[in-house]
Amino acid sequence: MEIDHSQPLEYSTEQNRLNILGFWIFLGAEIMLFGTLFASYFTLVDRTGNGPIGAEIFEITPVLAETFLLLTSSFVIGLGIHAMRLGNKKAMLTFFVITLLLGVGFIGFEITEFITYYREGATLQTSAFTSMLFTTLGTHGAHVTLGLFWGSFIILQVKNRGLTPETANKSFIFSLYWHFLDIVWIFIFTFIYMKGMT
C-alpha cells in the first residue's frame, strides 16, 4: 500500500479514495431510497381510512427531543473527525462515544414514541397512512440502529489499532453516514411532523 503523506490520513491511499467515492455514490442510492419513501408518504398521507390522522397522534415534545439529540450528535461527530485530522486519538474517541450515546437517546425516544402511537390506536396495520408513517420512520430508525453497531465497531478498532489510514478511512465514512441520517431526519421533522401538526 502506497501512503500519500500530503493527503489527510483518510484519503492517503488509492483504496481509501475509492472507498470514499464509492460511499458517496452509495449515499446517492440512499437518497433515492428515502426519496421514494417520502414520495409514497405524500401519496398516502391523507389516506387514513378509519384510523387517526397525523395531527391527532403527533406530539411535539419527544420529536423535539429526538431532533435535538440527533442534530447535536451530528455536530459532535464533526468534532470527532476534526480531532482525527489533528491526530488526537483520545479526543476523537471521546467525541465518537458521545455521538453514539446521543444516538442511543434518539432511539430510546423513538421507541417510546412508537409505543405511544400504538396505545392511541395507530398501529402498522391501521391504515395506509400509519403503515407508511411507521415504515418511513422505521427505515430511518433502523439506519440509526445499524449505525450504533457500526460506530461501536469503529471505536473499538481505533482504540486497539490506533489511527491508521484504514481506521481513519472507516471513521470518516461512518461520519458521512451519520451526517446523512441527520439530513434525512431534517426532512422527516419538516415534512412529516411540522406539516402533519398544522
Partner 1 sequence: MGFFSRFLIPNPSPVIYSSMVAIGVTVLLIIVGLTHFKKWFHLWSGWLTTVDHKRIGIMYLISALLMLFRGGVDAVMMRAQLAVPDNKLLDSQHYNEIFSTHGVVMILFMAMPYIMALMNFVVPLQIGARDVAFPRLNAISFWLFFMGAMLFNISFVIGGSPDAGWSSYFPLAGNEFSPHVGTNYYMIGIQIAGIGTLMTGINFLTTILKMRAPGMTLMKLPMFTWSSLVTSIIIIFAFPVLTVALIMGTMDRLFATKFFTITDGGMDMLWANLFWVWGHPEVYILILPAFGLFSEIIPTFSRRNLYGYRSMVASMVFISIYSFFVWTHHFFTMGQAAYVNSIFSITTMVIAIPTGIKIFNWLFTMWKGRIRFTVPMLYSIGFIPLFTIGGVTGVMLAMSAADYQYHNTMFLVAHFHNVIIPGVVFAVLGAGTYYWPKMFGFMLNERIGKWAFWFLTIGFCLAFFPMYITGLDGQARRMYTFSESTGFGPLNMISFIGTALMAISFVLIVYTIYYSIRHASRDVSDDPWDARSLEWATHNPVPEYNFAIIPQVNSRETFWDAKYKGHELFKGDYEKIHMPNNTGGPFIMSCIFFVFGFALVFSIWFLAIIGLIGIFVCMAYRSFEIDHGHYISVEEIKETEAKFGGVSKWK
Residues that bind partner 1 (CB under 8 A): 1, 17-19, 21-22, 25-26, 28-30, 32-33, 35-37, 40, 43-44, 47-51, 124-132, 135, 149-150, 153-154, 156-157, 170
Within 10 angstroms of residue 54's Cβ, the number of other Cβ atoms is 19
Minimal distance, residue 15 CB to partner 1, in Å: 8
Cβ closer to partner 1: 82 or 161? 161
Minimal distance, residue 149 CB to partner 1, in Å: 7
Which single residue is written with the C-alpha cell 489499532?
Answer: 161
Cβ closer to partner 1: 6 or 125? 125
| Distance in angstroms (rounded) separating the CA atoms of residues 77 and 96 | 6
Buried b (16+ CB within 10 A) or exposed e, 141-156: bebbbebeebbeebbe
Minimal distance, residue 155 CB to partner 1, in Å: 11
Cβ closer to partner 1: 64 or 156? 156
**End-to-end alpha-carbon separation of the chain, Å?**
56
Cβ closer to partner 1: 143 or 170? 170
| Distance in angstroms (rounded) separating the CA atoms of residues 21 and 44 | 35
Question: How far apart, in Å, are the Cα atoms of 189 and each of 2, 140, 193?
Answer: 44, 12, 5
Minimal distance, residue 39 CB to partner 1, in Å: 9
Within 10 angstroms of residue 93's Cβ, the number of other Cβ atoms is 19
Q: Which residues contact 142 (CB under 8 A, 6 or more apart)?
A: none
Minimal distance, residue 151 CB to partner 1, in Å: 11
Minimal distance, residue 65 CB to partner 1, in Å: 27
Cβ closer to partner 1: 69 or 92? 92
Cβ closer to partner 1: 33 or 55? 33
Within 10 angstroms of residue 106's Cβ, the number of other Cβ atoms is 26
